[in-house]
Structure 1
């Protein structure tokens, strides 16, 4: 979906100022204009976020859920803009690329070690960001390319498939399911499930693949990051479903293949256009894609 940044800005201003009037003054808008922005945002989301009261405004449950994420997204955007401002003069001296955190967690260090040996002195900047942020970084030219999940992107960008990555079940090592060669999704109806929040893109992929079964799964916790969900599993709070690359090698947990159905996501190389990358960018992209394929082949269950 298209992000309504003006609506998010209005939402945050209203919450922080306490009234529509003060928020309008902060943004140099009329109250009618800021009310229109809020209605447009709520209509696009299909939920009410703010309720006017005699004392000012109050948040609905949906508004309370959106508030910390909206603040975090705006903060990250401000930080990204600050990075661009500070390093704009030195941009030619850096190779910048985006990478999903679930891919970067296990492969970034091996990648940079190879670059240190092959291209000593090269300065590399990595944006371990959400799928939507990676699209924005490549589109803006802040990142030369990105390793991302396949999704709808602007026409100016090109996606080159790298690999199919399965989702796997992660459980505490002592959990009864840890000893099974594979687990059916239906077996998870009896478990306490930890969900990864929507910005990662993983929960949407899972929901689309499961159909009606998704309504029966008992998601009792939600984490913002895969790394946090894995920590919760290691602490015995429940089980989670993550992309295979992010589940491998985490202490205190066991990884089990999932079936019925097997759920996959497509990893792609996101580029500014169909033309091939050049120089160090191409070498880094090819090396990272190769590492992804090598690791997935090593993690694949024996036939």
Structure 2
């Protein structure tokens, strides 16, 4: 059953204001609009609520029976509205954004600490998901922006490429390659390698760089998440190739630059097409981008 709230509001206002004209003024409507709302309510009920003469407005028996119920219902609605509005005013403001897990695990905390100093009243929700999921979050408006990879997406999102992150070889500290200044892919022939598949996206990047040569290597294990592959390395199961920043804090693992070919991924901030970020979201975006760029600069310095 549909409830005609606008009709009940007009009915109550006509009675309490003493006529159609003062009710229209109170509701900021035309007198015709108020009359139409009342007539629509009466039609839905199948009975007259008011009798109107040139001098006065009189309640019918049905109108007198309905009036106290309508008045109570409107009072409860107003109370509920005020309660929700007060809650909205006191509830924490949330900033939601997406970030690749390989970046979220190592780069977020310093940026979040700075953000908390600048915006202490804003709570933050991080959606550490895959490339496709981040794009969907941004497209749906669930996330203000996403820190992801520069890649095509079906949503037509805007993409701001801000850094290139090299892939590195991750190996145990006592492995023979751990002392090499740089490791050529040819030196990995015969080594047990750990492949990182979807949803990380690392495998596709490596496959594109190697082409058919990828078939010449011994992929002994496969994991879906970079953290699992790094744990395999720390426990001596093999070697893996990961984005440089993802291994900066991995225990029991050292990294070495790769060559022949070098492999890299392009990091980008994705937003809805034409969207302008709110000031807090823009601040978070800038802090995170700056943190990632600083960390990558340190990586490049170590390689030089």
TM-score normalised per structure 2: 0.68
Name the structure 2 match of 1:151: 151
Name the structure 2 match of 1:227: 227
Name the structure 2 match of 1:261: 261
Question: For residues 217 and 276 of structure 2, what CA distance do their matches in structure 1 show?
Answer: 43
Question: For residues 165 and 274 of structure 2, what CA distance do their matches in structure 1 show?
Answer: 24
* 2:210 is equivalent to residue 218 of structure 1: no
Question: 1:200 aligns to what SS in structure 2?
Answer: coil
Could you tell me which runs of 5 or more consecutive residues in structure 2 were left unpaired when the two chains were aligned: 1-87
Question: For residues 193 and 302 of structure 1, what CA distance do their matches in structure 2 show?
Answer: 23
Question: For residues 293 and 276 of structure 1, what CA distance do their matches in structure 2 show?
Answer: 22
Question: 2:98 aligns to what SS in structure 1?
Answer: strand
Structure 1 residue runs of 4 or more that deviate by more than 3 Å after TM superposition: 89-92
Name the structure 2 match of 1:242: 242
Query: How many residues are matched?
Result: 215
Question: 1:129 aligns to what SS in structure 2?
Answer: coil
Residue 200 of structure 1 and its aligned partner are, at CA, apart by: 1.1
1:124-161 superposed Cα distances (whole Å, 9 cap, x missing partner): 10001111110111011100000001111135410000
Q: Which is greater in Rg?
A: 2
Residue 92 of structure 1 and its aligned partner are, at CA, apart by: 8.6
- 1:154-303 alignment to 2 at 5 Å? 154-300=154-300, 301-303=302-304
Question: 2:189 aligns to what SS in structure 1?
Answer: helix
Name the structure 2 match of 1:52: none
Name the structure 2 match of 1:142: 142
Question: For residues 92 and 109 of structure 1, what CA distance do their matches in structure 2 show?
Answer: 20
1:228-281 superposed Cα distances (whole Å, 9 cap, x missing partner): 111110001100000011011211111000010111100000001234422100
- Structure 1 residues 282, 132: CA separation in 2 closer, same or farther (over 3 Å shift)? same
Task: Indicate if the aligned counterparts of 2:105 and 2:246 stay in contact, CA closer than 8 A.
Answer: yes
Question: For residues 212 and 156 of structure 2, what CA distance do their matches in structure 1 show?
Answer: 36
Question: For residues 278 and 255 of structure 2, what CA distance do their matches in structure 1 show?
Answer: 38
Question: 1:114 aligns to what SS in structure 2?
Answer: helix
Question: For residues 155 and 253 of structure 1, what CA distance do their matches in structure 2 show?
Answer: 38
Residue 289 of structure 1 and its aligned partner are, at CA, apart by: 0.5
Residue 108 of structure 1 and its aligned partner are, at CA, apart by: 1.2
1:172-201 superposed Cα distances (whole Å, 9 cap, x missing partner): 011010000110111111210011122211
- 1:33-112 alignment to 2 at 5 Å? 93-112=93-112
Task: Indicate if the aligned counterparts of 2:257 and 2:303 stay in contact, CA closer than 8 A.
Answer: no
Task: Indicate if the aligned counterparts of 2:93 and 2:121 stay in contact, CA closer than 8 A.
Answer: no
Residue 225 of structure 1 and its aligned partner are, at CA, apart by: 0.7
Task: Indicate if the aligned counterparts of 1:148 and 1:270 stay in contact, CA closer than 8 A.
Answer: yes
1:20-43 superposed Cα distances (whole Å, 9 cap, x missing partner): xxxxxxxxxxxxxxxxxxxxxxxx
Question: For residues 255 and 285 of structure 1, what CA distance do their matches in structure 2 show?
Answer: 28
Task: Indicate if the aligned counterparts of 1:186 and 1:213 stay in contact, CA closer than 8 A.
Answer: no
Task: Indicate if the aligned counterparts of 1:98 and 1:126 stay in contact, CA closer than 8 A.
Answer: yes
Task: Indicate if the aligned counterparts of 1:148 and 1:268 stay in contact, CA closer than 8 A.
Answer: yes
Question: For residues 135 and 143 of structure 1, what CA distance do their matches in structure 2 show?
Answer: 9
Name the structure 2 match of 1:121: 121
